[in-house]
Amino acid sequence: MEVKWTKKAIKDAQYLHSKDAESYRKLKELIAEIEKSPFTGIGKPEPLKDKLKGWWSRRINQKDRLVYRVSGKTPQVLEITSCRGHY
């Protein structure tokens, strides 16, 4: 599965990498889980509503969420838009 990051998501991940090693480790774990099973598994995956319909969220920690969507058939593309804060 190809992974695409928005500029904001890249900055979010860099922040977690430099300031919160445990959350960065969890982020990598969640991405690996999404590649196996996009809509079930760890992090309490939940579909988002309203203007974020089609996007999903998983918990990184108490305050941060990974916001993503999976598109395409083969190969699938994982698009990450945010991984810090809430949506």
CATH code, domain carrying 17: 3.30.2310.20
CA–CA gap between residue 86 and residue 77 (Å, rounded): 22
pLDDT at 73: 83
**pLDDT (0 to 100) of residue 72:** 86
Task: State pLDDT tens for residues 20-68.
Answer: 999 999 999 999 999 999 999 999 999 999 999 999 999 999 999 999 9
Q: What are phi and psi of 14, to 5 degrees?
A: -65, -40
Q: Catalytic annotation on 86?
A: yes
Is 75's pLDDT higher than 80?
yes
Q: Is residue 42 part of a domain?
A: yes
- pLDDT digit string (tens) for 11-30? 999 999 999 999 999 999 99
In a domain, 87, yes or no: no
- Whether residue 17 lies in the annotated active site: no
Which entry of 29, 35, 46, 79 is annotated as an active-site residue?
46
Domain that holds residue 40: 2-82
> Domains in the chain: how many in total?
1
Q: Sign of the C-alpha dihedral, residues 38, 30, 71, 76?
A: negative
- Residue 70 forms part of a structural domain: yes
